A and B are shown apart, each in its own frame.
Chain A
Amino acid sequence: MKLRGRSLLPLLALLCAPPTAAADTVDIDAAVGFTDTFQPGRWTPLSVTVTNHGGDLSGELEVQVTGDDVLRGRLLVTSHRRNLELHRDSRKSLQFTVLPQGLSHPLVIRVHSEGRELARAEVDLRTRFAAERLLLVLSRNADLDYLNDRSVDGLRVLYPHPELLPVHWRGYDAVAAIVLHGVSLERLSASQFDALHKWIAQGGILAVSGGADYALLRSPRLAALLPGVPEGMTRVDAGALQRAFSASLDVARPVHVNRLGAFRGRVRLRAGEMALIVERALGLGRVLYLTFDVAGYPFDRWDGMRGLWLDSLRLPPLTAASPSGAESVTASPLAALIRAEATEFPSSVMAFLFLALYLGLLLAGTGIPVRGTRRRWLALLWSWATPVLFAPAAWLLFGPAAFPRGATAAAVALIEPFPDSSYARLGLDLGVYANRSGALRLEYRGAEPALQPSRQARREGKVEDWVFAGGSRLFVEPLDRRRYVLHALEGEDVIAFDLKASVRNETTGPRLVLDNASGRTLEDLWLVFDGYAYELGSVAAGARVERRLVPSTHGIEVGEPFWRRVFSRSPGDPAQVPAPAQIVLERRSQAMGESGYPGPGHALLVGYTASPLQLAGASVDWPRQEQALVAFRVVALPGDAAAGQTGTEPLAPGDGDTRRPKSPRVQGAAVDAAAQQDE
């Protein structure tokens, strides 16, 4: 019996052991950037794989990005968090999009549960960076190493696995272009393809190589992006190729290239009737289709391939690693918004009257004769009841009624629809503040901007540590819990916003055609064109508007620098205080530089709409101050242009357009339908 009891003890101890995984049973593996290479100062993907060798694990995965606050001589830590649920002996990969500020501090990755750190890993950034822009080649066998260039404006060619591509478009921040060769985009997850599509729409360059396996290029996702789909293969003789490319092309026999049917865009290179390189604009980006196999005969041995690639890609000049265009010198739109909309303190007059009433009543109470009278109870009441009644009255009157305690969210959004695209750039200034101390966790939905502390806060040394949570539950949380501190972030996103407009400059004035398929009502819409501003009023979601505008009848004559003021001020605002909209427009104007805003030959549609960022979860009841501005810069077409033509930024006059440009209007699940429609 005793022996049996002893044998049960270890079993009992085992059963009573805590179910959480022990620290040494969790492994972390991480890869930063593309093939473990990233560019400092640019957003980059970080793939983290957590392996659990122990029991079921419920915790959090955290990535800490450390930077230096030079002004205050301290470290700044930005934490990216995700919930982590791992069963026994399982593995999970999560992807983050992080912004490494420098190389001196490693990325710290932690798994913790119930306040206990279960695993920790550090990623040394000093051995993984590239100073050059990145060219991603998605291919099984293509070798484009000849494009490597270690100069300042150079390129680093990387060959990432397609399944490790970013899930957020911001992850491509350091990428100059992507070359696709013999790889299907159907292998990407929905979020990966969405990220790729958005990246192209906001200015990315995708080059797709043709080849014998052209069925890949007819798959729905690629077909939606490409200028056209291949219909078969055709032979191009050597002479034609040499005439098209160069006499230096060492080709002795005919080469098979993909044969295109109808396509959108323009031919950049052709051999006789055969298109060799076709290009289309997709938003602000471009998609190139090289109908030949760039890694096959005779291009795999041609010295001119490097020049051909660079000519075709036309990579834009290297810009500073500033996420939101030019450095702004204007005031913060958040401050202007808060100034305009914040609940103000109860007035001094109100406080004075309350105090006067209270002290007056107390003074009056001292005059009540009490000794030897029946009204002694009144004195007792007066001495205690007056303060007891006035205390909650003060709390209610100056608190919940006039100045509620709690947190407030402020957001100024600028939505700039891309031409010929169902996407728009969202520039966001987001702020949270509270009039009481404590945690400020802002949960939101509707957009997934890559956020970072605002430049103004960084310039003024007012940046604190932040927590950003991704995944299914998005939130941001400053770790500075002080009251009356504006925690400001700025960020960018690409959102679905389908707005089509064309402006034709007719002899009587501009003619506007506007198709609002954005799903949002546009309010207080103005058209700014050729020195005049035209008020258009509201345009409901789904509405199509066609207006002929006459400057002398409908327009207000405004100069280039002054129209923004006409638009942005609300009645009653002091003249010297700029409104948030005006600040946002001034910023864009500065970013446009000397070309002006909207600039010669362009019109600008400006109006308000609902903010794409919405509060969620526990923050849904927060007071909010928000303003969302739509600014659509449209090319003004000549008056005799074909009706219905959209006002996109055209490429140089094309010579290969075989059908009218058509809006891609593809997004998410609509990609497939659009591709079928195109075919």
Chain B
Amino acid sequence: MRDNPLVTEVLVGLTRHGQAQLDYLGLLLLQALVLFLWWPKDGVAQMLESQHGPHALTAVVMAVGVTTAYFALRAGAEEILLPGQHGLRDWALATPLGLGRILSGYVLGQLVHSLHLLALSSPLLLMAFTVSGGEWAALGWCMAATLVQALFYRLCGAITHLAIGQHRAECSVTVRTILALVYVPVGFFAPFTSHVALTSRLLDESVNTQPAFAAVPDHAAFLAAYAGISVLAALALNLLLLRERRGTAGPRDGAGVGEAVTP
């Protein structure tokens, strides 16, 4: 994995400090605020009377899902880059690396980055988990869904950037519109694609008599749907990169590559 310069770039970038870290720290603050707001204020006796446990975990997982998706979209659109990280177009046009290697490195780098973000959120998740009383399996499925969803949004952001990246304002609006569209109307009309709905079904047992994760197979459908769409998005990205590379004339001098791969 570390042989891929794009992955190396991410691993190195994570150890440096820059705007990306501050951006995510802001999102982490938002997650902490959600946790604090949903932290149980009533006692156990009141919870038992209402037959509803605290919703802190559900709220925090939803917050983690939407913040990592937002972060991934912006990172895909190259609004956010780790310190020393280069854009996808740079890798495609300025290096002789094959597109397959670039794409695999890009995807792996995104997963590493998302894992780091989840690691940063993990104390908050575990705090919520202890009081909400969810199940490890359900939490694991939610995290896997968050990772796959973030990959999808990262690729969407990258496609948007390759398509209209030269118009920064339009690109910025587009990526936010994508997030809003997929989260709200698409999630409403096709609930199996909604991370919010999935989290609610997996972690909130107030309606179901059986543990939600055991009764509802939607988590698999969610993962499969997002994985499938991500593959399609990766193919589209590959085509866009190929078109960019073919449309570019001039010698390949490899400018910037040294900077990219040198920590």
Contact = CB atoms under 8 A, between A and B. Distances in A.
Given A338-B45, A390-B123, A484-B52, 4 more contacts: A335-B45, A351-B39, A398-B127, A486-B48
Given A358-B123, A437-B205, A485-B51, A344 B43 contact: yes
A25 interface: no
Contact of B36 (A348, A383, A437): A348
A394 B123 contact: yes
Nearest to A577: B45
B44 interface: yes
B47 interface: yes
Complex A-B, nearest 9 residue pairs according to Cβ-Cβ distance, in ascending order: A484-B53, A339-B45, A399-B130, A390-B123, A486-B48, A391-B122, A435-B133, A394-B123, A398-B130
Given A342-B44, A435-B53, A436-B133, A366 B205 contact: no
Interface in A369-405: 370-371, 376, 379-380, 383-384, 387-388, 390-395, 398-399, 403, 405
B124 A484 contact: no
Interface stretch (B21-29, B100-108, B177-185): B21-29
Nearest to B44: A342
A508 B47 CA distance: 52
B190 interface: no
Contacts of B121: 387
B43 A342 contact: yes
Contacts of A384: 14, 116, 119
Q: What interface size band does chain B fall in?
A: 35 or more
A433 B36 CA distance: 25
B31 to A, nearest CB: 9
A481 B44 contact: no
Interface in A466-495: 479-486
Contacts of A398: 126-127, 130-131
A405 B57 CA distance: 15
Contacts of A484: 44, 47-48, 51-54, 133
A437 B135 contact: yes
Nearest to A465: B209
Nearest to B120: A387
A464 B49 CA distance: 15
B25 A351 contact: no
Contacts of A438: 135, 211
A359 B33 CA distance: 11
Nearest to B263: A376
A142 B205 CA distance: 60
Contacts of B135: 436-438
Contact of A355 (B36, B51, B122, B211): B36
Given A482-B51, A482-B206, A395 B14 contact: no
Contacts of A346: 130-131
B17 interface: yes
B51 A342 contact: no
A370 B133 contact: no
Contacts of A359: 25, 28-29, 32
Nearest to A401: B130
A379 B83 CA distance: 13
A346 B36 CA distance: 12
Contacts of A367: 17
B200 to A, nearest CB: 15
Contacts of A146: none
Interface centre among B14, B21, B49 (most CB of A within 10 A): B49
B35 interface: yes
B126 A394 contact: yes
Given A380-B15, A394-B126, A342 B45 contact: yes
Contacts of B35: 351, 355
5 contacts: A338-B44, A359-B29, A371-B16, A393-B123, A484-B51
A330 interface: no
A311 B230 CA distance: 88
A433 B49 CA distance: 11
A379 B45 contact: no
A345 B40 contact: yes
Nearest to A399: B130
Interface string A327-371: 000000001001100111110100110110011001101111011
A384 B53 CA distance: 32
A434 interface: yes
B134 to A, nearest CB: 8
A383 B133 contact: no
B209 A405 contact: no
A486 B22 CA distance: 44
A384 B119 CA distance: 8
Contacts of B36: 348, 351-352, 355
B41 interface: yes
B210 interface: yes
B51 A345 contact: no
Nearest to A462: B51
Interface in B113-144: 116, 119-124, 126-127, 129-131, 133-135
A405 B40 CA distance: 16
A359 B123 CA distance: 10
A345 B135 CA distance: 18
A359 B28 CA distance: 8
A482 to B, nearest CB: 5
Contacts of B25: 359, 362-363, 366
Interface centre among B17, B39, B44, B126 (most CB of A within 10 A): B44
Interface centre among B14, B35, B45, B47 (most CB of A within 10 A): B45
Nearest to B209: A480
Nearest to A338: B45
Contact of A335 (B49, B124, B205): B49
Given A355-B124, A403-B131, A484-B53, A343 B209 contact: no
Contacts of B209: 464, 479-482
A645 B211 CA distance: 60
A438 B120 CA distance: 29
A351 B38 CA distance: 11
Given A335-B45, A348-B39, A366 B22 contact: yes
B105 to A, nearest CB: 20
